[in-house]
């Protein structure tokens, strides 16, 4: 038996018989429950679920047979054997008892051994039958579970699930297809799947499906399918080949509608190549186009770059505010579109600086066009916030035959623009290496000498700004920010000298100096964790990994106490070399954060390939997100994509509790900005014993 002490229910109204039965069954080590009437007996059966029931034929009102029928009508009791005890069991009684569901009649008075033997036999048969049926029931239940799971998946999934035969016709279509593509299963079964595909996708998908069936493999697909309302939807699918019960080749496809994701990717791709304020192209895109133009030279025509700087624009910002200034910049961008149309690559490099690429044009044509643009700007009145502004522009020109790289050509155009400003502004100048102004610019070593002197005299120091967990509000680590203490003791911000350091090739030396300062503070403060910025020059320096590993090892600093910050434009500019450096450092246990994410990323494919741990969302999307839904949407999208790829996210330029609340709602992991505290020297930090930031 499957149970060592089966439970037996006895329904008997005779106290003497009940006592006898109870003693006999107890002696056989059965567990016994008793009742003197069928009503209470049924209640006990419901509550205790006995393995066998003994009922007296002599119960009042012939309730014995009715009790048997009531028991057998209950699904849970159908396998419970019922034994009837009677003083004079006639054939009629037995027939009626068997029809009511009893399995045996025992005549009173009975022998204890006979009663025990019969009960034992009935229980053995019960457990035997249950054992024999258990496997079949289990298999059937498993099959029903599989079938139910598939049906539940097919009916409730947001995905489109369908089966194709070897000819590409629908053999099965999930019931939710009407919700996904607007057709009922009846409309689709038997029709050709390929006819619903976009013409640009048909040949590729047909070839892919045929290969899957031929090679009997699993694959992923991407295609556009036409809905019943004639709208195209992007579908991302998993395809599996199999044989059905008739051994016919079939293909199961589970397709998910990713149209909204594709739209979002397009929006992000647009944002990655455009300036968010003016909607002109950004620096990264223009550099790419210029590099392409350099690599496809024309013997008879040139490519030229115009570097435009609005004269005295700082006056507008200082006297009318950045809101008015931003309006002027947008209006200026529209003016450029009006002047050039689609005949040039227009970009904003930042602030009031714009760069234009003119492809396949003569030198004379470039100069004439630049002069017409200057005059058009000079004669145009910019209206913003009830004010009218008359602006001028200084324009520098450089041609692609003057340098071998996009960076150098842009620098030449910038230098020419500088000359235009030096010569009185509101004019056009062409780059010439013999220009006295450019020679003076090139030989202006003020900052170069100051940086070298500061490094020698150890005048650089690190200030730290907290990076806070959005949920807990606790400081997770600090960003190390370089400062220069001048000879007069005043603090000089990096905006004054970093561009010069980059221009004169001093960033690698400066980065290593910063790393050294950071390590000293890490040694002084065991609880301190940092992020340290690496420049583009350092990121492609082959000796950087060894320098960092050696420096940290000698100081006894664990790699997990530092995250290195890099910018996406710096990585993409030298992608292969940068990837090698990043991978080597990650292999040693260091982590990376991608800074300024969202303003210059040229392809979503790069993000999937970049081995970074955190994304720092550019502050331009954060600082005004409470009033700019578009920026809030972009920040949320970047956060979602980052989390999907397993990366933590950081928002910078957090200046208010309103922005913090929005970040918490979006799900950003970390935040940084003056709301949590401005940058401070190490001695002012709580980890050093100073005031909490």
Query: Are residues 14 and 77 both part of a single domain?
Result: yes
The pair of three-digit structure tokens given for residue 589, joined into one six-digit string: 């246990």
* Cβ–Cβ < 8 Å for 52, 21: no
Query: Are residues 509 and 573 both part of a single domain?
Result: yes
Which of 257, 288, 310 finishes a domain?
257
Question: Which CATH number do you get for residue 681?
Answer: 3.20.20.450
* Angstrom distance (rounded) from CA 542 to CA 578: 9
pLDDT of residue 79: 87
pLDDT bracket for residue 127 (50, 70, 90) = confident
* Cβ–Cβ < 8 Å for 11, 41: yes
Query: Are residues 496 and 574 both part of a single domain?
Result: yes
Tokens 């930090």 found at: 685
Reported in sequence order, the residue ranges of 36-117 that DSSP labels E, i.e. its strands, are: 52-56, 82-86, 104-107
570 versus 369: the higher-pLDDT residue is 369
pLDDT of residue 2: 42
Would you say residue 222 has pLDDT above 50? yes
Weakest mean pLDDT among 70-79, 299-308, 548-557: 299-308
pLDDT bracket for residue 688 (50, 70, 90) = low
* Chain mean pLDDT for the chain: 87
Would you say residue 297 has pLDDT above 90? no
Query: Are residues 376 and 269 both part of a single domain?
Result: yes
pLDDT of residue 155: 66
pLDDT of residue 603: 44
Q: How far is C-alpha 205 from the geometric centre of its chain's CA atoms?
A: 27
Would you say residue 657 has pLDDT above 70? yes
pLDDT bracket for residue 433 (50, 70, 90) = confident
Would you say residue 29 has pLDDT above 60? yes
pLDDT of residue 602: 47
Would you say residue 228 has pLDDT above 50? yes
Query: Are residues 301 and 381 both part of a single domain?
Result: yes
The answer to whether position 278 is within a domain reads yes
**How far separated are the first and last CA of the chain, in Å rounded?**
74
Mean pLDDT to the nearest integer, 462-467: 96
pLDDT of residue 525: 92
Structural domain for 172, as ranges: 157-257
Question: Which residues pair with residue 241 across a beta bridge?
Answer: 251
Mean pLDDT to the nearest integer, 134-138: 70
The answer to whether position 657 is within a domain reads yes
Q: Listing from the earlier edge strand, what are the strands of the sheet with 160-165?
A: 170-173, 160-165, 249-257, 232-243, 218-226
The answer to whether position 172 is within a domain reads yes
Mean pLDDT to the nearest integer, 526-548: 92
Mean pLDDT to the nearest integer, 621-625: 90
Which of 257, 287, 316 finishes a domain?
257
Query: Are residues 77 and 104 both part of a single domain?
Result: yes
The answer to whether position 149 is within a domain reads no
The answer to whether position 693 is within a domain reads no
Cα–Cα separations (whole angstroms), residue 73 to 53, 76, 96, 218: 15, 9, 16, 51
Query: Are residues 526 and 659 both part of a single domain?
Result: yes
Weakest mean pLDDT among 122-136, 246-260, 450-464, 524-538: 122-136
Query: Are residues 436 and 453 both part of a single domain?
Result: no
pLDDT of residue 533: 95
User: Which tens digit of pLDDT belongs to each residue from 144-189?
Assistant: 676 666 666 666 667 888 888 988 899 988 888 888 888 998 999 9
In total, the chain counts a number of residues equal to 693
Query: Are residues 221 and 164 both part of a single domain?
Result: yes
User: Which tens digit of pLDDT belongs to each residue from 148-158?
Assistant: 666 666 666 67
Query: Would you tell me how many other CB atoms lie within 10 Å of the CB of residue 166?
Result: 15
Cα–Cα separations (whole angstroms), residue 196 to 78, 168, 188, 207, 335: 55, 11, 10, 16, 45
Which of 384, 407, 442 finishes a domain?
442
Mean pLDDT to the nearest integer, 375-394: 84
The answer to whether position 140 is within a domain reads no
The answer to whether position 407 is within a domain reads yes
User: Which tens digit of pLDDT belongs to each residue from 314-356?
Assistant: 778 777 888 888 888 998 999 999 989 888 999 999 888 999 9
Cα–Cα separations (whole angstroms), residue 50 to 10, 43, 81, 148: 10, 11, 10, 32
pLDDT bracket for residue 63 (50, 70, 90) = confident
Query: Are residues 352 and 460 both part of a single domain?
Result: no
Weakest mean pLDDT among 45-49, 441-445, 507-511: 441-445
Would you say residue 88 has pLDDT above 70? no
Mean pLDDT to the nearest integer, 502-515: 90
Query: Are residues 163 and 115 both part of a single domain?
Result: no
Question: Which CATH number do you get for residue 271?
Answer: 3.30.70.270
The pair of three-digit structure tokens given for residue 258, joined into one six-digit string: 């990713």
Query: Are residues 637 and 650 both part of a single domain?
Result: yes
pTM: 0.47
Which H or E element spans position 476?
Answer: strand 475-485
The answer to whether position 152 is within a domain reads no
What are phi and psi for residue 359, nearest 5 degrees? -100, 145
């Amino acid at each position: 038996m499957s149970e060592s002490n089966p439970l037996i229910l006895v329904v008997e109204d005779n106290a003497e018989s009940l006592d006898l039965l109870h003693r006999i069954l107890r002696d056989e080590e059965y567990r016994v429950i008793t009742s003197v009437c069928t009503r209470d007996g049924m209640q006990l059966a419901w509550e205790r679920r006995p393995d066998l029931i003994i009922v007296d034929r002599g119960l009042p009102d012939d309730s014995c047979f009715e009790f048997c029928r009531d028991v057998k009508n209950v699904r849970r009791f159908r396998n419970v054997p019922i034994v009837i005890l009677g003083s004079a069991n006639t054939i009629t009684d037995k027939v009626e008892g068997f029809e009511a569901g009893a399995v045996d009649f025992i005549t009173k008075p009975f022998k204890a051994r006979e009663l025990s033997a019969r009960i034992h036999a009935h229980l053995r048969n019960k457990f035997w039958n249950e054992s024999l049926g258990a496997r079949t029931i289990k298999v059937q239940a498993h099959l029903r579970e599989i079938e139910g799971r598939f049906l539940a998946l097919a009916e409730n999934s947001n995905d489109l699930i369908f089966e194709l035969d070897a000819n590409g016709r629908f053999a099965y279509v999930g019931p939710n297809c009407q919700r996904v593509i607007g057709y009922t299963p009846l409309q689709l079964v038997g029709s050709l799947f390929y006819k619903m595909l976009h013409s640009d996708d048909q040949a590729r998908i047909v070839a892919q499906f045929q290969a899957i069936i031929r090679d009997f493999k699993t694959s992923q697909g991407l295609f556009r399918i036409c809905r019943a309302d004639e709208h195209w939807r992007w579908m991302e699918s998993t395809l599996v080949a199999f044989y059905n019960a008739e051994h016919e080749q079939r293909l199961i496809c589970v397709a998910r509608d990713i149209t909204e994701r594709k739209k979002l990717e397009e929006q992000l791709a647009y944002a990655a190549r455009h300036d968010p304020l003016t909607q002109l192209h950004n620096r990264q895109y223009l550099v790419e186009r210029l590099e392409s133009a350099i690599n496809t030279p024309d013997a008879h025509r040139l490519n030229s770059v115009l570097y435009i700087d609005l004269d005295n624009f700082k006056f507008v910002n200082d006297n009318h505010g950045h809101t008015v200034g931003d309006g002027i910049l947008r209006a200026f961008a529209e003016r450029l579109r009006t002047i050039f149309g689609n005949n040039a690559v227009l970009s904003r490099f930042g602030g009031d600086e714009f760069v234009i690429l003119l492809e396949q044009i003569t030198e004379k044509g470039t100069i004439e066009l630049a002069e017409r643009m200057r005059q058009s700007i000079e004669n145009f009145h910019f209206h913003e916030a009830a004010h009218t502004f008359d602006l001028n522009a200084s324009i520098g020109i450089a041609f692609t035959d003057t340098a071998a790289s996009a960076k150098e050509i842009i620098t030449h155009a910038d230098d020419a623009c500088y000359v235009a400003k030096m010569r009185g502004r509101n004019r056009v100048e062409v780059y010439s290496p013999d220009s006295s102004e450019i020679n003076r610019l090139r030989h202006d070593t003020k900052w170069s000498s100051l940086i070298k002197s500061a490094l020698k005299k150890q005048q650089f120091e690190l200030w730290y700004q907290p990076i806070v967990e959005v949920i807990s509000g606790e400081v997770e680590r600090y960003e190390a920010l370089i400062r220069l203490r001048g000879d007069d003791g005043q603090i000089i911000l990096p905006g004054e000298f970093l561009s010069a350091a980059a221009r004169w090739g001093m960033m690698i030396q400066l980065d290593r100096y910063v790393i050294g300062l950071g390590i000293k503070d890490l040694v002084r403060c065991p609880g301190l964790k940092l992020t340290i910025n690496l420049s583009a020059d350092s990121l492609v320096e082959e000796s950087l990994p060894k320098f960092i590993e050696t420096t940290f090892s000698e100081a006894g600093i664990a790699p997990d106490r530092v995250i290195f910050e890099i910018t996406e434009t710096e990585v993409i500019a030298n992608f292969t070399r940068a990837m090698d450096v990043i991978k080597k450092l990650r292999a040693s246990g260091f982590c990376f954060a991608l800074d300024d994410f969202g303003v210059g990323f040229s392809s979503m494919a790069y993000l999937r390939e970049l081995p970074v741990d955190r994304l720092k969302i550019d502050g331009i999307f954060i600082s005004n997100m409470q009033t700019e839904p578009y920026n809030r949407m972009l920040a949320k999208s970047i956060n979602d994509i980052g989390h999907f790829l397993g990366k933590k996210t950081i928002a910078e330029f957090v200046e208010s509790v309103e922005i913090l609340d929005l970040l918490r709602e979006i799900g950003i992991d970390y935040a940084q900005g003056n709301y949590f505290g401005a940058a401070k020297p190490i001695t002012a930090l709580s980890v050093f014993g100073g005031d909490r930031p």
